[in-house]
Structure 1
């Protein structure tokens, strides 16, 4: 029997993009079962006039307020409003800044959105993202040698979202689907620079995800073997054998989040590049 969910309003106020707030908020809310947040996101709040709208929204739908605001005047006004309304509020970066300041003994610069500067790292991530999107799901196989990491796996092993996560870390990631009875590109087996990593999951998990995929697309003419457990098991064995034959590391993603899978891949890549001269991340 499904339990009823408790809903609450969650206001995320930022003078930058709000990405930091959303990441922290979602990491926190996922820890509470049967509770569902209603997110109100307010990015680029840098003037008192912009804060007026935020305060109006909080007054209309009171709830938890998380914020990252560098301007002291705007921050103070938001806090006063929250106190008057009796709603909880947290500047999520204050404890972090306190630790950094006490340990480093330096003054905070109060730069808005400093983590999003258009520096070399930013452009590296953009280049990686462009490469990854161009090489998704076996597209443009000819220049896989330009990748940092190539993921191989059967359908529904989270290859694409894992590649996108890696690209956001500045890693050029391509992925190649493993399809029964369809030969792989010959040069995949002879790559020199990229680390090739295989992804697998349990047959039960893949079958469940594929069934949900078919239902969501309302597909009527799909191939029955796509969700057949025996066929899925055959595909998994094929993937395991391919990785074993070529010495590729294999990761079981059955009970892993995208972040956990990507973290293990990045650890493998750090070891890999340390063993091969000339490779830099």
Structure 2
């Protein structure tokens, strides 16, 4: 770390690190420095804006294919299927690291976000780095490695589509994609357990799953914050107190954003318990799952 480095500058260093192992390690170090106060400011208001890369630095060891051309992962009944599922999770976590640092670098100063915003997403970034490291190690224990199988970059495609709008980034990445992870993880955990792989099941159940709920919660929290700031009212408090009118406005904004930036309907079944724990109920997402969904 250079003397006087801001958090945004630190975030850019992570984004410009190509090796995902080094990216996770650097992210963890910088997160600790921020949370311990060793990096003291998120950015200098008078400093010229830095250029945030459209695409973070990445190694070319992972063969990228269209999502439609991805081979089926299977149901964890065979070693090959378990390797494929864990490889897919490792790839997702590698992008999640970049997404977390990108939201800090791209929107923190631009939107004049408060310190708590940076705190929350630094913690998310640190979690994602830990998930990547643990899952990559587990993949090697299963006799494979990151890069052994093809992957797709649909997650970053969504990041590009939402790169100009923090409302959209929070709604699509954290309240749609991350929430989708909450929907499917319990089934994935059960499949590993049924396939005799308790070690992977425990990793997903005890570490990844509960922390992903907090990541989704960060998206919901800061989406509500943006709504409240745009109306100069405390929407977060209002929603907790059950103000139906204000709730409808926030949820209506969420529906508007998702319809504009996310292609197609949301896929049920939904993990209502985990989604509720993250701060949003069925009225947020069930209307987006109807068959006549239109953009």
TM-score grouping bracket, smaller chain normalisation:
under 0.3
The TM-score normalised by the length of structure 2 is 0.24
Structure in which a larger fraction of residues adopt strand: 1
Q: Which has the higher contact order (CA 8 A, sep 6+)?
A: 2
